[in-house]
């Protein structure tokens, strides 16, 4: 016997209700503010939803029509991929490793037994100053005759002691010998276009270089300045350490630079908090390119270079200029000075590639150029060794 259909049901519909539709009647909306709810009205503040949604339902929640529309849109727009692989599973998919020429983790592993030319002799770059006597040959019987070639050297000391002038004289000598050189300026402007009356850095470089090389201005321009490049990297012009690195690499690789003077390393980072880290990165790059680099540095009130022990550990070689007080008559006699006077000495704190002179050298300055030279009163017990052959 057939069951009687409920009154009010649609007898022409043959589509069964979805299984996920609620089977209990929807709760009747409560009147708000004493106003009776009209048929088809939503309570105030409720989201209106989207077409085809149940009243009060959020998009995609218990609404098969919305879910089907969303799937169709993805398929039509190509957003539904036939298969999606979890990124974490990618290394385990495929038939095997692909030989793309990348050494992977082996790239940083060196097998010394496979290397050629393992034993080398350190060479020197002549500076024409006291710096040529601080590092020794392997037999410790002769001066190297220059600063260690291919090394990054920290030259630190108080202001006004001749660091920059000594470095510029050496820079001019290297360029005159035929090598392209670079001068990184971080403390002052290099050249004033207008006649301001100031003896600017370009003028001082030219005069020091002409005296150091013995060339006329025309010869100096042709033999030295044609091979010299000046990189301005003053922090007060908005230059950061990263800006310097970008320009430094560009200049070195474009012009095949092999000798650099930086004046000064500390001013490339005005906070002076990362001097040693910056020097470490610079040294690594210089080693790769075979660059000899003098980094002029400042010292603190304690007499230690800015960057402290970390900087001295990082640099290939460290030359430190200091003031020495002659606190007794015996010390004054030994150093050829007067009791209670102060003299200037320089000593090699370290060199990773050569032996160093084990005692300080009293320095004098050339009256014309201001370049650091060996003082005539250097003690006989502390002899300065001549270069080999």
Neighbouring CB atoms inside 10 A of 178's CB total: 8
Residue-wise pLDDT for 331-375, tens only, equals: 999 999 999 999 999 999 999 999 999 999 999 999 999 999 999
Percentage, residues of the chain above pLDDT 70: 76
Residue-wise pLDDT for 135-150, tens only, equals: 999 999 999 999 999 9
Residue-wise pLDDT for 134-193, tens only, equals: 999 999 999 999 999 999 999 999 989 999 999 999 999 999 999 999 999 988 888 887
Beta bridge partners of 352: none
Nearest residue to 122 via CA among 353, 362, 375: 353
According to DSSP, the β-strands at 292-297 and 152-156 are parallel
Report the chain's mean pLDDT, rounded to a whole number. Answer: 82
Residue-wise pLDDT for 41-93, tens only, equals: 545 544 454 554 555 545 555 677 777 777 777 666 655 455 566 666 665 55
In order, the DSSP letters of 29-54 are PPPBTTBPPPTTPPPTTS----TTPP
What domains are defined for the chain? 124-324+350-374 (3.40.50.300)
Q: For residue 102, what pLDDT band results from cuts at 50, 70 and 90?
A: confident
165: exposed, middle or buried (Cβ count in 10 Å: 0-12, 13-18, 19+): buried
Residue 181 phi, psi dihedral angles, 5° rounding = -130, 160
b/e string for 109-129 if b means 16 or more Cβ within 10 A?
A: eeeeeeeeeeeeebebbbbbb
Please tell me the distance from the alpha carbon of residue 217 to that of residue 38, in angstroms, as a whole number.
101
Whether the pLDDT of residue 221 is over 60: the answer is yes
The answer to whether 319 and 134 are in contact (CB under 8 A) is: yes
Is the peptide bond prior to 293 cis by the omega test (within 30 degrees of 0)? no
For residue 193, the Cα-to-chain-centroid distance in whole angstroms is 31
For residue 144, the Cα-to-chain-centroid distance in whole angstroms is 31
In order, the DSSP letters of 111-174 are -GGG-S-------EE--SSGGGGSBB-TTSSSB-SSEETT-EEEEE--TTSSHHHHHHHHHHHH
How many helices (H) and strands (E) the chain has is answered by 8, 11
- What would the two tokens of residue 66 be? 């919305």
């Amino acid at each position: 016997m057939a069951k009687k259909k409920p009154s009010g049901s649609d007898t022409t519909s043959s589509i069964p209700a979805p299984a996920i539709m609620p089977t209990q009647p929807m709760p009747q909306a409560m009147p708000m503010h004493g106003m009776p709810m009209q048929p088809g009205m939503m309570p105030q503040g409720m989201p209106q939803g989207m077409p085809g949604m149940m009243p009060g339902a959020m998009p995609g929640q218990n609404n098969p029509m919305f879910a089907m529309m969303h799937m169709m849109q993805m398929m039509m727009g190509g957003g539904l991929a036939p298969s999606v692989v979890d990124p974490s599973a990618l290394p385990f998919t495929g038939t095997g490793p692909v030989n793309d020429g990348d050494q992977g983790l082996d790239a940083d592993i060196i097998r010394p037994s496979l290397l050629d030319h393992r034993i080398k002799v350190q060479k020197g770059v002549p500076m024409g100053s006291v710096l040529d006597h601080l590092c020794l040959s392997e037999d410790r019987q002769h001066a190297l005759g220059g600063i260690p070639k291919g090394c990054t050297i920290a030259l630190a000391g108080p202001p006004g002691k001749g660091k920059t002038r000594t470095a510029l004289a050496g820079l001019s000598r290297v360029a005159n010998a035929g090598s392209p050189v670079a001068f990184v300026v971080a403390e002052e402007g290099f050249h004033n276009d207008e006649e301001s009356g100031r003896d600017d850095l370009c003028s001082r470089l030219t005069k020091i270089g002409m005296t150091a090389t013995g060339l006329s201005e025309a010869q100096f321009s042709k033999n030295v300045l044609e091979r010299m490049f000046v990189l301005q990297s003053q922090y007060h012009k908005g230059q950061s350490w990263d800006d310097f690195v970008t320009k430094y690499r560009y200049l070195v690789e474009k012009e095949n630079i092999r000798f650099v003077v930086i004046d000064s390393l500390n001013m490339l980072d005005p906070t002076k908090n990362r001097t040693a880290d910056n020097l470490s990165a610079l040294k690594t790059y210089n080693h790769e390119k075979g660059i000899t680099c003098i980094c002029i540095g400042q010292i603190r009130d304690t007499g230690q270079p800015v960057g402290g022990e970390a900087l001295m550990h990082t640099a290939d070689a460290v030359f430190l200029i200091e003031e020495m007080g002659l606190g007794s008559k015996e010390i004054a006699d030994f150093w050829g000075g007067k009791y209670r006077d102060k003299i200037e000495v320089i000593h090699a704190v370290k060199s990773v590639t050569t032996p160093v002179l084990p005692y300080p050298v009293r320095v004098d300055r050339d009256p014309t150029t201001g370049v650091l030279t060996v003082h005539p009163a250097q003690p006989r017990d502390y002899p300065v060794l001549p270069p080999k052959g």
